[in-house]
Amino acid sequence: MLSDQTVTRSYQLNNGDDLDPLIERIGDAQYVLLGEASHGTHEYYLWRSRLSRRLIEEKSFRFIAVEGDWPDCYRVNQFVRGYDSSQTAEDVLRAFARWPTWMWANWEVVALAEWLRLHNRSLPTEKQTGFYGLDVYALWESLASIIDYLRRHHPDALASAEDAFRCFEPYGGDPQSYALATRFVPTDCEDEVTHLLTTVRQRAGVETDGRADEFNAVMNAESVKGAETYYRAMIAGGAESWNGRDRHMASTLNRLMQFHGSDAKAIVWEHNTHIGDARFTDMASAGMINLGQLVRETNAAENVVLVGFGSYQGRVIAGRSWDAPMEIMTVPPAQSGSWEHAFHQLDQDDRLLLFQPSSRHVDALTVPRGHRAIGVVYRPEAETGNYVPTILPLRYDVFLFLDQTSPLHPLHIASQTGPPELYPWGV
């Protein structure tokens, strides 16, 4: 069991005002990375929304970047900036068709997108808050967007995109089929993708004028390049596919910061396994890195705040296998000896835990404990495999412990309605 001395500062969490100590802890940091212990828990999205709204209003954070694909999230970006008046936030988010749809096609993100649009409405473009995706999966969608961009703006350069399209076309829109094929034949599409990226960079001229359309084209080209590399590495196995994916997300985040200017501030929403520093888990012994580690390594300590999340028990949205139907599953009480179990034993209230630099040298804190991580595939009966040995106060700067949690509210469940606690905006 943990003692009261284990965490330097601990605060009860009831509403958005209880985030004041965290707002103070963030200070002038430019990077705030917000985790989650599952992709299907309502409270993780709710508290990330509450904190994000405060950071945008009180500290002028310029964008939210999420564990989602660039093309899908860029449509959300266009909506929240007021460029698309023909659709509602629900319309835009229902278009997220890639499994697991519930990660972003949910009422919690609908509420956030509507709030962002209202917030941006009275602001000049350069002061508005954007919404972007950092992930690598949207090879075909990004390629289609590039073809459309070149056809409209640079038809003389369209051949490079068509060459890349023809290279991938035999695989029927399935990047994994492409990746499998590269294991048995000595050819792949890497050269075509590299040439496409070079062409788009040259024609878009994003480094000189920074216009949104050109920036979007370059980011889609970077997405195609990252996806092609990721899928080949995934088939090969080992840590490199994970590492390549997180390096791509770090590079995308860096390009977003450059695009938004020297005073830009970023909020990132991803799973704990991406934002919690991998060096303080067993990921390190497997040769794995992650986004939180990379951001910490390339920025001053006071400029980065990593916020982890966890809970003791509840329910969650997940699938029992990849591409399986989403369902509500029971999350059993945390295993004895885990961080979640220890916090539950100490205090069954929801808590905001701030780890101070001085506390990181306390022996009790530097002993790894299991820290639950639930993915989009979840089997509650195999709970033992869902714990990552973690030195919590080194992996994160801040931890939100939520004792009892409930499932996310997906849009793609019949007769589902939005949770009332997301409205009005002041809640």
Which tokens in the block code for residue 140? 């075909």
The answer, yes or no, to whether the previous bond of 424 is cis (omega within 30 of 0) is: yes
Strand partners, 404: 313
pLDDT (0 to 100) of residue 164 = 87
β partners of residue 327: 318
Residue 333: cis peptide before it, omega within 30 degrees of 0: no
Q: How many residues does the chain have?
A: 427
Higher pLDDT, 137 or 180: 137
Q: What are phi and psi of 176, to 5 degrees?
A: -70, -35
Distance CA 282, CA 101 (A): 29
**Residue 421's pLDDT is what?**
57
The domain ranges of the chain are: 9-135+265-422, 136-245
DSSP-derived secondary structure letter, 101: G
Please list, in sequence order, all residues whose beta carbon lies within 8 angstroms of the beta carbon of residue 8, skipping any fewer than 6 positions away.
354, 355, 356, 358, 359
- Assigned CATH for 9-135+265-422: 3.40.1660.10
pLDDT of residue 359: 47
Predicted confidence band of residue 107 (pLDDT cuts 50, 70, 90)? very high
233 or 254, higher pLDDT: 254
Query: Average pLDDT over the chain, rounded to whole?
Result: 89
Supply angle C-alpha 167, 173, 177, rounded to 5: 80
pLDDT at 20: 97
The reported pLDDT for the residue numbered 1 is 41
Per-residue pLDDT at 416: 55
The span from the CA of 240 to the CA of 231, in Å, is 11
> Of 255, 249, 252, 287, nearest to 270 (Cα)?
249
pLDDT at 297: 97
Predicted pLDDT at 208:
38
pLDDT exceeds cutoff 80 at 417: no
Question: H-helix or E-strand containing 169?
Answer: none
For 319-378, list the strands marked E by DSSP.
327-331, 351-354, 369-372
Query: Residues of the chain with pLDDT > 90: what percent?
Result: 68
| Strand 31-34 versus strand 304-318 pairing type | parallel
Per residue in 313-329, pLDDT tens? Answer: 999 999 999 999 999 99
Alpha helices by DSSP H, 61-189: 70-80, 89-94, 107-120, 139-153, 158-168, 175-181
Give the model's pLDDT for residue 423: 52
At 347, the pLDDT band (50, 70, 90 cuts) reads confident
Contacts of 188 (CB under 8 A, 6+ apart): 178, 182, 228, 232
The SS3 of residue 201 is helix
Answer for the pair 388, 273: CB distance below 8 angstroms, yes or no: yes
- pLDDT for residue 420 is more than 60: no
What is the rounded CA–CA span in Å between residue 286 and residue 290? Answer: 12
Rounded to two decimals, what is the model's pTM? 0.92
User: What are the C-alpha distances in Å from 263 to residues 29, 31, 55, 57, 114?
Assistant: 11, 11, 14, 15, 25
Query: 272: burial class by Cβ within 10 Å (0-12, 13-18, 19+)?
Result: buried
Q: 2 with 347: CB under 8 angstroms?
A: no
Beta bridge partners of 312: none
Identify which of 208, 243, 269, 225 has the alpha carbon closest to the alpha carbon of residue 73. 269
Predicted confidence (pLDDT) per residue in 207-238, tens digit:
434 588 899 999 999 999 998 888 888 877 78
- 136-245 has which CATH code? 1.20.1440
Per CATH, 9-135+265-422 and 136-245 having the same topology is answered: no
User: How far apart, in whole angstroms, are the C-alpha atoms of residue 295 and residue 284?
Assistant: 16
Percentage of residues of the chain with pLDDT beyond 70: 90
The string of DSSP letters for 230-260 reads HHHHHHH-SSHHHHHHHHHHHHHHHHHHHHH
Q: Is 63 helix (H, G, I), strand (E, B) or coil?
A: strand
pLDDT tens column, 109-156: 999 999 999 999 999 999 999 999 999 998 889 999 999 999 998 998
Q: What mean pLDDT do residues 36-49 have?
A: 97
* 335 membership: H or E segment, kind and range: none
Q: How far is CA 187 from CA 92, 140, 245, in A?
A: 38, 19, 22
User: Beta partners for 407?
Assistant: 41
Average pLDDT, integer, range 94-99: 92
- Between residues 51 and 384, the one the model is more confident about: 51
Does position 6 have pLDDT exceeding 90, yes or no? no
pLDDT confidence band for 334 (50 / 70 / 90): very high
Does residue 103 carry a pLDDT above 60? yes
In the prediction, which pLDDT does 4 show?
45
